[in-house]
């Protein structure tokens, strides 16, 4: 049970989503576009943001970009009528944690949100050890990433990706394995989306040290954390 901010300019859809989330036990906040969403985020902090892509004034992709540029790691699920891999990759490149294509069932959306909330809550659980992998430190209790003494802002999904790879250096994970381990659900998503997650992580860590090369691409197999 969590506070969820729903953002969509379609009032009818917003009403349906709000009812579904409230029936599932969540507390719902509403906003009709990205501008209202930013104001709502300041007024009362939600645990997660569900946001349509196409909206007036400030669209979902622009909202996602603004939040990530402001170092805000709130989990974000984007909703869109677009259904190409390129569009999905774009949303993830901008920092979204997940992506649901319209038309969708509210059951699927609720399951995706629940999976993200579980991952985020797991990071805050008591007794979670701090993981050290060379110059990288992962503090699971605070979902904090420190690389060479510098804090790196990551999303829930990005944290999980680093955690999976760094815990088992040298082990090669296929894209399908990483997708299952990172997302932890049975969502139908192309496994090439893992490339987008890896690209985002490399970019963030290379911003601290351009020589970062700990995530290896194993051609034809997947990825591994360099020993």
Comparing CA positions, the residue from 15, 8, 120 lying closest to residue 73 is 120
Decide which of 3.40.50.2300, 3.30.360.10, 3.40.50.720, 3.30.1340.30 is the CATH code for 3-123: 3.40.50.2300
Across-strand partners of 7? 31, 51
Residue 128's pLDDT band, with cuts at 50, 70 and 90, is low
- CA 87, 223, 202, 185 dihedral sign is positive
- pLDDT for 63-102, tens place per residue? 999 998 888 889 999 888 765 555 666 777 788 888 888 8
More confident residue, 109 or 102: 109
130-225: which CATH topology?
A: Arc Repressor Mutant, subunit A (1.10.10)
d(CA 199, CA 201): 5
- pLDDT for 145-204, tens place per residue? 999 989 998 888 888 889 999 988 899 999 888 887 876 654 545 567 788 889 889 999
Residue ranges matching CATH 3.40.50.2300 in the chain: 3-123
Contacts for 170 with CB less than 8 Å, ≥ 6 apart: 224, 225, 226, 227
């Amino acid at each position: 049970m969590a506070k969820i901010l729903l953002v969509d300019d379609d009032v009818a859809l917003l009403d349906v989503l709000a009812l579904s989330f409230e029936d599932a036990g969540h507390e719902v906040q509403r906003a009709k576009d990205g501008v209202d969403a930013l104001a709502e985020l300041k007024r009362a902090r939600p645990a997660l943001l569900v946001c349509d892509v196409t909206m007036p004034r400030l669209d979902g992709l622009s909202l996602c970009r603004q939040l990530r540029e402001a170092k805000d790691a709130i989990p974000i699920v984007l909703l869109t009528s677009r259904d190409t891999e390129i569009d999905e990759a774009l949303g993830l490149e901008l920092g979204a944690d997940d992506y649901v294509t319209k038309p969708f069932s509210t059951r699927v959306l609720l399951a995706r949100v629940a999976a993200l909330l579980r991952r985020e809550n797991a990071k805050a659980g008591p007794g979670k050890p701090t993981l050290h992998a060379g110059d990288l430190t992962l503090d699971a209790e605070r979902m904090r990433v420190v690389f060479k003494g510098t804090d790196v802002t990551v999303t829930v999904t990005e944290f999980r990706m680093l955690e999976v790879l760094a815990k088992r250096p040298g082990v090669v994970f296929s894209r399908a394995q990483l997708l299952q381990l990172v997302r932890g659900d049975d969502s139908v998503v192309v496994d090439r989306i893992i490339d987008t997650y890896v690209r985002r992580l490399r970019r963030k860590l290379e911003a601290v040290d351009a020589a970062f090369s700990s995530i290896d691409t194993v051609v034809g197999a997947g990825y591994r954390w360099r020993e």
